[in-house]
Amino acid sequence: MVTIREAVENDLAVLLTIYNDIILHTTAVYDYEPHTLEMRRHWFATKQQQGFPVFVAEEEGRVLGFSSIGPFRAWAGYKYSVENSVYVAGEARGKGVGKLLIPPLIEAAKKLQLHTIIAGIDAANEASLKLHKSFGFEEVAHFKEVGWKFGRWLDLKFLELIV
């Protein structure tokens, strides 16, 4: 049975492995180079300092994915809007893990008295688009050819959920 809990420092190595696999093999992250454990520690510390949660999906002691929210944009007027991230390990994709990682983000946003969650999703990532739409996210923007990865231009969609 998959359970959801808040991430702890000891999870960071596994979160890094999941994230780096996504960088190297998918267009879910428009980055080229794997991150380091120090980068992941800094990311986690920043989330904690900002008061934003990181959740992990775990089954029998094995982390299958993680999700988080964080600032959408740096200016003060955006303080009630956040961007979400949901990442699932390759072997666990398509098994409902992502579906378990979004509700705690929505609940956390409500508790933090946020207004909007934005999801930036590669336009070709039908699974993630469908997943977010199943929670009421609506497409609000389609940016054409804004990313470059794997030798091709990538489109980015923004979906929004007003909480």
Return the pLDDT at 59.
Answer: 97
Average pLDDT of the segment spanning 29-50 = 97
- 159 within 8 A of 140, measured Cβ to Cβ: yes
Per DSSP bridges, beta strands 138-149 and 152-162 are: antiparallel
Stated as kind and residue range, the H or E segment containing 107 is helix 97-111
**DSSP state, 27?**
S
Contacts 24+ apart (CB under 8 A), 76-79: none
Average pLDDT of the segment spanning 94-121 = 97
Return the pLDDT at 135.
Answer: 98
Return the pLDDT at 26.
Answer: 97
Return the pLDDT at 134.
Answer: 98
Return the pLDDT at 92.
Answer: 96
- Domain ranges, residue 21: 2-162
- 142 within 8 A of 148, measured Cβ to Cβ: no
Return the pLDDT at 91.
Answer: 94
Which band of pLDDT confidence, cut at 50, 70 and 90, is reported for residue 32? very high
Return the pLDDT at 153.
Answer: 98
Q: Number of folded domains in the chain? A: 1
Which band of pLDDT confidence, cut at 50, 70 and 90, is reported for residue 109? very high
Return the pLDDT at 125.
Answer: 97
Domain at 123, CATH number: 3.40.630.30
Structure tokens at 39: 């980068």
Q: List the strands of the sheet with 2-6, edge to edge.
A: 2-6, 54-59, 62-71, 81-88, 116-122, 152-162, 138-149
**Distance separating alpha carbons of residues 22 and 1, to the nearest angstrom:** 24
Q: What percent of the chain has pLDDT over 70?
A: 100
Which band of pLDDT confidence, cut at 50, 70 and 90, is reported for residue 100? very high
Return the pLDDT at 151.
Answer: 98
